[in-house]
Amino acid sequence: MIPTIVDSHTHLDFPDFDGERDAIIERARAAGVTRMVSICTKMERADFVRGLADTYPEVYWAGGIHPMSADKQPVIALEVLLKLAEHPKFVGIGETGLDYHYTPESAPIQQESLRVHIEAARQTGLPLIIHSRDADEDMIRILSEEHRAGAYSCVMHCFSSGPELAAAALDLGFYLSASGIAAFKKSEALREIFATAPVERILVETDAPYLAPPPHRGKRNEPAYTALTAQAVASVWGMDYPEFARQTSENFDRLFTKARLT
């Protein structure tokens, strides 16, 4: 039997998949990917992403404002996120966060937006989905400040930051998610950071259509490739693929409680 696994973060609404979604979902099923969370990063796409979740039994969704888009519209209202969370297959808040690599000029607005998303996670009980790039110091500060103000759950999506942010996130009880980056040959330093985390706090994802793992690096990613990333990184925790697939699926169930299979 093919081990089952979860793609905790993908973008099935992106135009890269237009005209092929049925086939992409079928390939994911064939690879053992039984669930996938499609992330809405712009509110004008919410209806479309919700429709994907309504159409495909394997697809769940989450939504928020990506930090690189935070300055292109008014800061999202808390009430908007709370309304989205009423949908039965809406399972997480975000992705949100800080990106000082591409959009450092909008740092103040990104931080304001992040805090709104954190409050939505706190009020709904849904996990926060964090994007962080070149912003470790501010990210540690904000996540810690907000956690002291009221607990919430969180996953550091596509984690590729430094050891200090990893340690801070783990100390807060958060999860780290491994993308195709962790499977790249030159990502040994990143794998060493992951090795400091208990396997019970690890998720896997594609971030498709981006970051395809070997042997597809540089090409379009898709949910079926979750298995390839997991196969490449399972040894970090001294596990074989079936055991790691089972563990990360259990981790997903613990964090994304609304997507838990009954």
The residue-averaged pLDDT of 112-138 equals 98
- Residue 150 region, left (φ>0) first, then alpha (ψ -120 to 50), else beta? left
pLDDT of residue 195: 97
Rounded distance between C-alpha atoms, residue 125 and residue 253, angstroms: 14
CATH fold group of domain 5-256:
TIM Barrel (3.20.20)
Q: 136 is written with which tokens?
A: 């470790």
CB 212 within 8 A of CB 220: yes
Rounded distance between C-alpha atoms, residue 95 and residue 214, angstroms: 25
- The tens digit of pLDDT for each residue in 138-185 reads 999 999 999 999 999 999 999 999 999 999 999 999 999 999 999 999
CB 132 within 8 A of CB 161: yes
Say what the pTM is: 0.97
Residue 114 has pLDDT above 90, yes or no: yes
- The tens digit of pLDDT for each residue in 7-44 reads 999 999 999 999 999 999 999 999 999 999 999 999 99
Residue 262 has pLDDT above 90, yes or no: no
